Structure 1
């Protein structure tokens, strides 16, 4: 009897403690103070990571989120004063049990304003440059440092681009940018590398555009932090980064995953804000459940994982074998097997079981039909003949399909340059003309012809002529944008299609291609040049009419002295090379 009473007593105590714990969680309030604005990808994903972790822990109305907007209002004293007054007013009546800060601005804001949440546990995250002395006598602070992976990214660039000789780190003169720059200098002083590493933190957007557009092939860029340029213009990654990376002649790397990976950045050792936010929320939950802040050590760095954009890897011809084995590659199309591995394995398992069942049934039938052995033997002979003939037909069919594929490839590919040929170009042009006319989109067509190509064959032989054609094709292919199309039109002529591109932009692109092809020498004696004619699609114009105008413009370019770019006069635009 006493034992039963003791068990009941212990059970009631445990239940009462669990009830008290659940009640504490239900009534707890957690405040997240974000350094930046809610539209900033890093902030949005970190906040979502916190929400996901707290979703089943406390009522949604007990989770409060504030945004300091410190990227757009950098070092704005009035803005900071107003935020201070707002938080004092709001959370005087709704005092949080735990405060989570995201990124440097919010962390330093609470350090500088202890009157806001005195003695309240603070879990900080996303701090790039941390000074331990700031937390002296502040036992209520713990968290996870975001840190920076500068040395690791420089070594990564050195690994995947062995021809790079110079890395330029991009920062700025804002408070956070200056801290990042100082940290970079400390790391570079300890870093052993063959690369020349420079820090650029004082530039305008126009100067940055000029720099990346004229950078030599042995250069790479690594983004630290860019908030404002020299002229005070706010730099938005979502608005300004994609035009910058599209313009760049060389890869641009970064370490802030969610903000950069889909904005034309090659990649790098990158962090994950969703995971970072979830880790911060877990620490907050532990504190609500009674764990002392002093018992939770500060984690000195978040995880930086090799992460890359597949399109940029292809754009800059990066050998995927040079990437770290654990790399995450965004935008790469997975095979059917990769997408449906579990289904394929399950199907194979079912098929194996069915085959095993069939084998057992076949064995049973064989035993039961022993008396008809001769008939079965005759059937077997017949089956073997049918099987043999079927296999021969299948082999012939495979060979026929292979020959058809090869013929199809030959019909659409130029064997010398490996470019698509005139037939493929005409098919693509017809499709683009129909699509652009129906959607009222721009389309520019360029016919270009290598100047004095007959002299190359006559003076140096057809082998040299073929080599020049191959070099020209390779250079043009590397020089056009991913959205453009290139074909060998015949002989020394090439066709280029520029969707959604004006004649003026097409002229600029052609001149850039002229500059690139000028590096090709004939027998190491003189540079190759070409003439080009441009025609822009007009309403209700056919493919043949459009090509005719481009050909006329090409004829005009050759007649005016060659090494020129001429635009069809139908658009009232003249351009000379």
Structure 2
């Protein structure tokens, strides 16, 4: 059913000058409509000449797809309400997709109310011209596929395969031509897998099997090959949960679901221009300037997803917008520190003034002395508070630094910490000649554990592995999580002659450990690649040799320890 929501832009009691009816095709809580309404309201709020009232109508196509009876009754309800209500709209705004659905119902809409139609489809199969619906169009360019493919190659240059997630609705079938044209220019660089001929579960299964050198570009998934309708913003959450590779999206409402982001179509900007066009319609101005707009896409990213996939901000395109970034301590508490300093300065000025007056007014000496003591006490209290604040700041900074160096799952040191320790150890080697050894420990067939028993089992294996490694190294050795199922170990003052025996101890302890998960016994082994530092060698060279040794061990059948040449 329709869900009218009426609300004033301002809390100030004033006559209602202009009424705006907005028609959306999905339910009221749909992310697309939330963003559209947000952008639209921002612009209307800036126009101080009128007081705007709104009525929001929702066709709820996501709940009752392909139901012509429901759509007809909904339009009849809207017509009846418009004819009999004392609240009459000055402008009717239809968001993306609505105008095409309402073509044949044009006669049932108020004939004297101008319509602002957002993103109508001139390729519609209707026998009624879209121009008969309204003369006020807002036609944004939404095809941002090429830019997103270029972005994937820029941020993830090792990518060899891209899964393009798109459904099989009539709208999505029309989009496939633009998609195939965009991807054709990259055939020599990438293999593309399209999901438009798959059912929902088949699509998720296909994505879950993606290779590590793959990425996912999520366009939308409104209907699968079986004709079952879906909500794209909910399907993308299923996609993110199913895959173990980066996921990029092309719509603003996908941000916050776990996708990295991308060159996204910003629905909020469409809502802003819809409001600007509606204001021009009210003012009797020409609205042709809004046709064929090309300014609704921008590079927007989720900081949490960037951190997950180790993508640095400096690699992002210029003027990129980053959302969900952590708030710094200064941004959160800086104003309070400034206020404290100002208070201390003002109190100090007051003390100086009182001392000066004390010298000039002998009769008030006793009173001034009391005031001076009181003020000194206040200064001491404020100084003590400031010292406590500084100590708290130092403590928080230490906690933040510690947190930034620890892998949250295994509680081992992370890549940032081990990189710093490797740098320090290399400096010690160059200065004193004290050699050291690194080992890369990789869990064999770890993906099978995740596939067969779930990611919870995989996480349990990673934590158990961390415990075993810590129990079998020296106190001054460093154990870190290098990434995924790989661990990097640093052994100061460990020669090449002793490295293999140490590696074999670790491999043997791990292979003999009785792994169980939910009553299931797991056979877990590791392959270890080791390398001891050499003269004139960089850290990158050292890690590369250890990685090559690990690769050789995998080729030899896994559950091996290989010393680098």
- Could you state the TM-score of these two structures normalised by the residue count of structure 1? 0.57
Distance in 1 between the 2:232 and 2:64 partners? 15
How far 1:245 moved relative to its partner? 0.9
Is 1:37 matched up with 2:27?
A: yes
Is 1:86 matched up with 2:77?
A: yes
How far 1:198 moved relative to its partner? 4.2
Match of 1:195 among 172, 185, 190: 190
Partner of 1:336: 329
Partner of 1:268: 262
Q: Equivalences for 1:128-207 in 2 at 5 Å? A: 131=123, 135-136=130-131, 140-145=135-140, 147-188=142-183, 194-207=189-202
Q: Deviations over 1:72-93 (max 9, x none)?
A: 3333322322223223322234
Match of 1:321 among 305, 308, 314: 314
RMSD of aligned alpha carbons: 5.0
Partner secondary structure for residue 26 of structure 1 = coil
Distance 1:82 1:139, change over 3 A: closer
How far 1:334 moved relative to its partner? 2.9
Distance in 2 between the 1:515 and 1:92 partners? 75
Match of 1:503 among 513, 518, 523: 518
Contact kept? 1:135, 1:141, Cα under 8 Å: no
Q: Which runs of 5+ in 2 are unaligned?
A: 1-13, 352-393, 415-435, 473-505, 530-546, 561-565
Match of 1:283 among 277, 281, 284: 277
Distance in 2 between the 1:230 and 1:146 partners? 27
Would you tell me which structure has more helix in proportion to its own residues? Answer: 1
Is 1:223 matched up with 2:218?
A: yes
Distance 1:191 1:284, change over 3 A: farther
Distance 1:151 1:339, change over 3 A: farther
Distance in 2 between the 1:30 and 1:413 partners? 53
Contact kept? 2:510, 2:526, Cα under 8 Å: no
Distance 1:337 1:309, change over 3 A: same
Partner of 1:427: none
Distance in 2 between the 1:515 and 1:86 partners? 67
Contact kept? 2:40, 2:271, Cα under 8 Å: yes
- Report the count of equivalent residues: 409
Partner of 1:540: none
Is 1:471 matched up with 2:471?
A: no
Q: Equivalences for 1:397-546 in 2 at 5 Å? A: 419=412, 467=439, 470-472=441-443, 486=463, 487-489=466-468, 490-491=471-472, 492=506, 493=509, 503=518, 523=553, 526-529=556-559
Distance in 2 between the 1:238 and 1:150 partners? 18
How far 1:159 moved relative to its partner? 0.7
How far 1:107 moved relative to its partner? 2.1
Q: Deviations over 1:296-342 (max 9, x none)?
A: 43242342222222332233333433222323333332322355677
Partner of 2:537: none
Distance 1:467 1:294, change over 3 A: closer
Q: Which runs of 5+ in 1 are unaligned?
A: 1-23, 359-400, 422-462, 496-500, 531-577
The structure having more radius of gyration, on CA atoms, is 1
How far 1:33 moved relative to its partner? 0.5
Distance in 2 between the 1:275 and 1:192 partners? 33
Partner secondary structure for residue 290 of structure 2 = coil
Distance in 2 between the 1:186 and 1:102 partners? 27
Distance 1:284 1:333, change over 3 A: same
How far 1:347 moved relative to its partner? 8.1
Distance in 2 between the 1:341 and 1:413 partners? 27
Distance in 2 between the 1:232 and 1:198 partners? 20
Distance in 2 between the 1:282 and 1:162 partners? 41
Partner of 2:68: 77
Distance 1:515 1:277, change over 3 A: farther
Contact kept? 1:119, 1:140, Cα under 8 Å: no
Partner secondary structure for residue 527 of structure 1 = coil
Distance in 2 between the 1:154 and 1:309 partners? 18
Contact kept? 1:46, 1:275, Cα under 8 Å: yes
Contact kept? 1:521, 1:527, Cα under 8 Å: no
Partner of 1:306: 299
Q: Deviations over 1:392-414 (max 9, x none)?
A: xxxxxxxxx99xx9xx98xx999
Distance 1:57 1:147, change over 3 A: farther
How far 1:234 moved relative to its partner? 3.4
Partner of 1:48: 38
Distance 1:525 1:109, change over 3 A: closer
Distance in 1 between the 2:527 and 2:167 partners? 33
Distance in 1 between the 2:99 and 2:240 partners? 31
Partner secondary structure for residue 442 of structure 2 = helix
Q: Deviations over 1:426-458 (max 9, x none)?
A: xxxxxxxxxxxxxxxxxxxxxxxxxxxxxxxxx
Partner of 1:570: none
Distance in 2 between the 1:196 and 1:182 partners? 17
Match of 2:252 among 248, 254, 257: 257
Partner secondary structure for residue 181 of structure 1 = helix
How far 1:136 moved relative to its partner? 4.3
Partner of 1:108: 100
Distance in 1 between the 2:467 and 2:132 partners? 73
Contact kept? 1:130, 1:145, Cα under 8 Å: no
Contact kept? 1:142, 1:296, Cα under 8 Å: no
Distance 1:271 1:311, change over 3 A: same
Partner secondary structure for residue 108 of structure 2 = coil
Q: Deviations over 1:197-246 (max 9, x none)?
A: 44321212211221111101222221222112233433235544324312
Contact kept? 1:164, 1:195, Cα under 8 Å: yes
Partner of 1:372: none
Distance in 2 between the 1:31 and 1:413 partners? 53
Partner secondary structure for residue 292 of structure 1 = coil
